[in-house]
């Protein structure tokens, strides 16, 4: 690759010009002025095989765009008189492929005039594939070539090289040009392609047989239902594949016909923490005619691979707080787009089967039926896996209505929420469930319906859903992978792990209680570890835990071994002094204490009185399996005033001790221990709350951040019609505070 001109200045010495070819190109150059809807905007153009520079001159004279040139023939490149005219900003001698995809992507328009017919068929296809693959989403490739095997030297004497292939018009049309012109004089076609044509590159089938003469080329053209015209540009957005025309000259595809220029539509994708589905959506949209801009609204995502992808795409990404499904209307993005037509879509749709004329089709429907407000895609209801949690819902609420309810022009009379739908902001610029759905083939696949076990970014999304904003989580009762329930579910699938035994309802109580401590450097004590599996799970739930201590009276627990050094089991009776000292030496204070020991009333009360003082302010004490508190065999009973259930009920009363008038805290516990002792205990270790769950009592210790008691009375507002004494109370409070 030799750089000859840089920024309109020659950077190498050009010798006296050698003798050059003098043949005249027959490519129809004027089409470049019609490629873009706004030709007055500045554009960057690459002219491949620029030859004598005639195309460059035409562009500079008519559109005034910047033009770069590259040619494979050195003699062609050493054209000092041409460069003196400042036609080409940069000139290279070499192959266009060698410029690299990054540089090629900088161009709005890449021109390939009178080039591919000089290449063997395989190389011609590879060159087209390279250029189409490097185009930006709104860039275009213009290809001009004879539509037959033109015998070089007969009609165009003096040209530099011979033609090696003929390109049938049908071969070019299979790539679905946005714009084309076919000259009747020379049977030369000029075609404008977008990057979506790359997906059809295998349909490009040039002919290396010279028998493909002009007569054969004209017959091929006639078979398409087209005619050549020296003055007509034909605008043809790519059409849909159809099975209704098996004898079509394009192998089952609809013949081309002149249609209006595709509408300009802004597509808004509302996303949170999903990557693979929206990435495929964007790749499809980049190839769809009519897409003026793609805007992604990110609602507070935290998935790092998604953030990395955002940095690589050429589209606007607006980072928002989590505004939910109404973000396209509440974020103000509609005031920033350049088009009146806009699409709003969730990110979880597969658009790969959509016809390329989807946007023109939807726009036409909305223009003819503006009162609908919006027109959306239908959703495919076939192929839902038998074990999909959505299968019954789809059959009942999606498939049947789509089969029965039809509106005008075959529209399905089902309203559209945030599925891919086209709106006109002059008519509808607020969130509204309305409109109708388009019939087949304008159908998308709703990806979550086909998921049985969430993985990857979808699992991450479900793990981080806020509130009840995901119907999928509701349908599947999805469990966060790092939640207590999720960790138990994962642990159950592993082999060779220590057994843990818990009642199902406990897991949700643990999750609610433990969540505030999840990423803290906690110290945890579990009295009664049995086979030791729960300590293994707590070590996963609390990744930053400092110590996880277990205690069990069973001497066989001495054989429990843990790879995690934070976990240790102490063998002994937790209510004996020697064992207590070992536990206190391990950690002098705990954030969480779980009593899963003998469950006998005397042991439960003794453990609480012994270890609650070791609980840190704000910590949680949990007594498990308290159904035993109602069994006589464990020292309990429903009417037993000395059961541990009665003890915890008394503790619950102490939460309101500020309001006692005829007794104090200690008097509540006289069936268990002396009054003065309990008063001193509760004064030293104030209780914020006591909660009762099925077979569990949860006691939370007060802390400076959340002290016990009602606190200060808060009076707001200034109109008190029913009782104005509150205003005088507030005035007194303000004076006292001053």
Tens digit of pLDDT for each residue in 157-209? Answer: 445 568 899 999 999 999 989 888 888 888 999 999 999 899 899 899 999 99
Detail the DSSP E strand segments found in 165-216: 179-183, 188-193
Concatenating the DSSP letter of every residue in 273-300 gives: S--HHHHHHHHHHTTSTTEEEEEEEEES
pLDDT of 687 higher than 70: yes
Please provide residue 144's backbone torsions phi and psi, each rounded to the nearest 5 degrees: -125, 130
Which of 217-231, 398-412, 457-471, 686-700 shows the highest mean pLDDT?
686-700
pLDDT band at 24 (very low <50, low <70, confident <90, very high): low
Concatenating the DSSP letter of every residue in 570-601 gives: EES-TTSHHHHHHHHHH-S-EEEEEE-S---H
| Two structure tokens written together for 705 | 């951040």
Please provide residue 461's backbone torsions phi and psi, each rounded to the nearest 5 degrees: -60, -50
> What would the mean pLDDT of 542-547 be, rounded to a whole number?
96
> What would the mean pLDDT of 544-570 be, rounded to a whole number?
96
Which residue did the predictor score with more confidence, 251 or 197?
A: 197
Contacts of residue 103, defined as CB under 8 A and 6 or more positions apart, other chains included, come to none
State the Cα–Cα distance between residues 380 and 444, nearest whole angstrom.
6
CA-CA distances (angstroms) from residue 58 to 27, 46, 61, 178? 12, 13, 5, 21
- List strands edge to edge, sheet with 567-571: 567-571, 547-552, 523-527, 590-595, 615-623, 696-701, 687-693
Which residue did the predictor score with more confidence, 88 or 33?
A: 88
Which residues on adjacent β-strands are paired with residue 179?
192, 235
> What would the mean pLDDT of 697-721 be, rounded to a whole number?
91
pLDDT of 391 higher than 60: yes
Crossing angle for the helix pair 644-654 and 601-611, nearest 10 degrees? 40
> What would the mean pLDDT of 521-525 be, rounded to a whole number?
97
pLDDT band at 251 (very low <50, low <70, confident <90, very high): very low
Range 165-195 burial, b when 16+ CB lie within 10 A, else e: bbbbbbbbbbbbbbbbbbbeebbbbbbbbbb
pLDDT band at 20 (very low <50, low <70, confident <90, very high): low
Contacts of residue 628, defined as CB under 8 A and 6 or more positions apart, other chains included, come to 599, 600, 634, 636
> What would the mean pLDDT of 509-529 be, rounded to a whole number?
95
pLDDT band at 359 (very low <50, low <70, confident <90, very high): very high
pLDDT band at 404 (very low <50, low <70, confident <90, very high): low
Q: Which of 13-27, 75-89, 335-349, 372-386 has the lowest mean pLDDT?
A: 13-27
Residue 13: the pLDDT is 85
pLDDT of 479 higher than 90: no
How many CB atoms sit inside 10 A of residue 408's CB? 11
| Residue recorded with tokens 């071969």 | 171
Concatenating the DSSP letter of every residue in 103-158 gives: HHTT-SEEEEES-GGGS-HHHHHHHHHHHHHH--TT-EEEEEEESS---TTTSSTT
Residue 62: the pLDDT is 82
Residue among 484, 539, 456, 506 at smallest CA distance from 625? 506
Whether the CB-CB separation of 535 and 551 falls below 8 Å is answered with no
State the Cα–Cα distance between residues 566 and 576, nearest whole angstrom.
24
Task: Check whether the bond before 592 is cis (ω within 30° of 0).
Answer: no
| Two structure tokens written together for 95 | 């192959």
| Residue recorded with tokens 């005034």 | 64
**What's the pLDDT tens digit per position in 201-248?**
989 999 999 999 999 999 988 888 777 776 556 664 433 333 222 223
0.75 surpassed by pTM? no
Report the residue count for the chain. 738
Range 448-457 burial, b when 16+ CB lie within 10 A, else e: bbebeebeeb
> What would the mean pLDDT of 259-286 be, rounded to a whole number?
90
Residue 405: the pLDDT is 57
Note the Cα 276 to chain centre separation in Å.
Answer: 6
State the Cα–Cα distance between residues 56 and 85, nearest whole angstrom.
11
Give the 3-state DSSP-derived string for 720-731, with helices as H, strands as E and coil as C: CCCCCHHHHHHH
pLDDT band at 548 (very low <50, low <70, confident <90, very high): very high
Whether the CB-CB separation of 550 and 569 falls below 8 Å is answered with yes
Which DSSP helix (H) or strand (E) runs through 700? strand 696-701
| Two structure tokens written together for 696 | 């569990």
Range 647-668 burial, b when 16+ CB lie within 10 A, else e: bbbbbbebbebeeeeeeebbeb
Residue 248: the pLDDT is 34
The dihedral built from the CA positions of residue 154, 155, 157 and 162, taken in this order, carries a sign that is negative
Contacts of residue 444, defined as CB under 8 A and 6 or more positions apart, other chains included, come to 349, 350, 351, 353, 354, 377, 378, 379, 380, 419, 420
**What's the pLDDT tens digit per position in 274-317?**
999 999 999 999 999 999 999 999 999 999 999 999 999 999 99
Whether the CB-CB separation of 375 and 407 falls below 8 Å is answered with no
Tell me 11's DSSP state: -
State the Cα–Cα distance between residues 123 and 115, nearest whole angstrom.
11
How many CB atoms sit inside 10 A of residue 129's CB? 15
Contacts of residue 561, defined as CB under 8 A and 6 or more positions apart, other chains included, come to none
**What's the pLDDT tens digit per position in 35-76?**
887 777 889 999 999 988 999 999 988 888 999 999 988 888
Detail the DSSP E strand segments found in 450-562: 523-527, 547-552
Tell me 530's DSSP state: T
Q: Which of 82-86, 183-187, 496-500, 522-526 has the lowest mean pLDDT?
A: 183-187
> What would the mean pLDDT of 552-575 be, rounded to a whole number?
96
Residue 393: the pLDDT is 82
Residue 419: the pLDDT is 92
Q: If you compute the radius of gyration of the chain from its CA atoms, what whole number of angstroms results?
A: 38
Residue among 523, 525, 521 at smallest CA distance from 549? 525
State the Cα–Cα distance between residues 632 and 380, nearest whole angstrom.
61
Which residue did the predictor score with more confidence, 601 or 82?
A: 601
Residue 588: the pLDDT is 95
> What would the mean pLDDT of 632-652 be, rounded to a whole number?
95
Phi-psi region of 496 (alpha: psi -120 to 50; beta: other; left: phi over 0): left
Half-sphere exposure of 18 (CA within 13 A, CB side): 8
Residue-averaged pLDDT of the chain: 88
């Amino acid at each position: 690759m030799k750089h000859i001109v840089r920024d309109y200045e020659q950077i190498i010495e050009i010798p006296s010009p050698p003798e050059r070819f003098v043949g005249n190109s027959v490519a129809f150059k004027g089409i470049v002025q019609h490629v873009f809807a706004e030709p007055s905007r500045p554009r960057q153009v690459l002219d491949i095989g620029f030859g004598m520079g005639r195309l460059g001159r035409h562009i500079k004279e008519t559109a005034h765009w910047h033009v770069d040139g590259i040619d494979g023939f050195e003699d062609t490149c050493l054209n000092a008189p041409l460069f003196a005219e400042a036609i080409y900003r940069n000139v290279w001698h070499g192959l266009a492929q060698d410029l690299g995809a990054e540089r090629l992507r900088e161009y709005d328009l890449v021109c390939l005039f009178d080039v591919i017919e000089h290449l063997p068929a395989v190389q011609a296809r590879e060159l087209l594939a390279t250029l189409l693959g490097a185009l930006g989403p709104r860039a275009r490739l213009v290809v001009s070539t004879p539509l037959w095997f033109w015998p070089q030297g007969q009609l165009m004497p003096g040209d530099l090289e011979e033609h090696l292939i003929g390109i049938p018009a049908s071969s070019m049309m299979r790539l679905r040009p946005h714009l084309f012109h076919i000259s009747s004089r020379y049977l030369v076609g000029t075609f404008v392609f977008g990057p979506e044509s790359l997906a059809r590159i295998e349909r490009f089938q040039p002919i290396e047989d010279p028998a493909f003469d002009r007569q054969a080329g004209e017959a091929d053209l006639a078979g398409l239902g087209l005619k050549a015209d020296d003055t007509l540009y034909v605008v043809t957005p790519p059409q849909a594949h159809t099975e209704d025309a098996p004898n079509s000259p394009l192998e089952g595809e609809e013949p081309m016909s002149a249609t209006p220029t595709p509408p300009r539509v802004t597509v808004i994708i509302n996303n949170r923490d999903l990557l693979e589905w929206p990435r495929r959506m964007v790749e499809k949209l980049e190839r769809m005619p009519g897409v003026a801009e793609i805007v992604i609204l990110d609602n507070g995502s935290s998935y790092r691979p998604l953030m990395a992808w955002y940095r690589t795409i050429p589209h606007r990404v607006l980072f928002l707080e989590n505004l939910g499904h109404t973000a396209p209307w509440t974020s103000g993005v509609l005031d920033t787009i350049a088009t009146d037509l806009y699409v709003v879509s969730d990110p979880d749709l597969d658009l790969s089967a959509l016809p390329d004329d989807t946007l023109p089709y939807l726009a036409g429907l909305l223009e003819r039926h503006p009162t609908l407000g919006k027109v959306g895609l239908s959703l495919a209801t076939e192929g839902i896996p038998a074990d999909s949690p959505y299968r019954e819902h789809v059959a009942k609420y999606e498939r049947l209505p789509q089969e029965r309810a039809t509106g005008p022009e075959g529209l399905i009379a089902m309203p559209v929420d945030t599925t891919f739908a086209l709106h006109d902001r002059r008519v509808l610029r607020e969130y509204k469930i309305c409109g109708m759905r388009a019939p087949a083939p304008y159908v998308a696949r709703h990806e979550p319906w086909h998921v049985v076990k969430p993985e990857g970014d979808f699992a991450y999304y479900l793990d981080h859903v806020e509130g009840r904003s995901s119907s999928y989580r509701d349908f599947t009762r999805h469990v966060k992978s790092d939640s207590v329930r999720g960790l138990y579910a994962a642990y159950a699938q592993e082999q060779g792990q220590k057994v843990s035994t818990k009642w199902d309802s406990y897991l949700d109580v643990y999750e609610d209680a433990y969540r505030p401590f999840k990423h803290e450097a906690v110290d945890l004590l579990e009295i009664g570890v049995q086979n030791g599996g729960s300590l293994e799970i707590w070590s996963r739930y609390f990744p930053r835990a400092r110590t996880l201590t277990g205690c069990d009276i069973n001497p066989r627990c001495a054989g429990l071994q843990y790879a995690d050094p934070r976990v240790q089991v102490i063998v002994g009776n937790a209510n004996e002094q020697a064992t207590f000292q070992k536990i206190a030496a391990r950690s002098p204070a705990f954030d969480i204490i779980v009593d899963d020991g003998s469950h006998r009333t005397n042991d439960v009360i003794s453990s609480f009185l012994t270890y609650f003082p070791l609980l840190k302010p704000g910590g949680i004490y949990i007594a498990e399996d308290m159904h035993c508190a109602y069994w006589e065999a464990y020292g309990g009973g429903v009417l037993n005033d000395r059961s541990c259930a009665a003890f915890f009920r008394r503790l619950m009363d102490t939460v309101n001790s500020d309001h006692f008038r005829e007794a104090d805290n200690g008097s509540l516990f006289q069936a268990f221990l002396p009054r003065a002792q309990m008063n001193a205990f509760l004064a030293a270790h104030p209780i914020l709350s006591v909660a009762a769950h099925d077979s569990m009592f949860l006691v939370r210790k007060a802390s400076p951040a959340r002290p016990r008691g009602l606190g200060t009375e808060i009076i707001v507002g200034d109109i008190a019609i029913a009782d104005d004494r509150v205003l005088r109370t507030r005035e007194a409070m303000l004076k006292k505070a001053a």
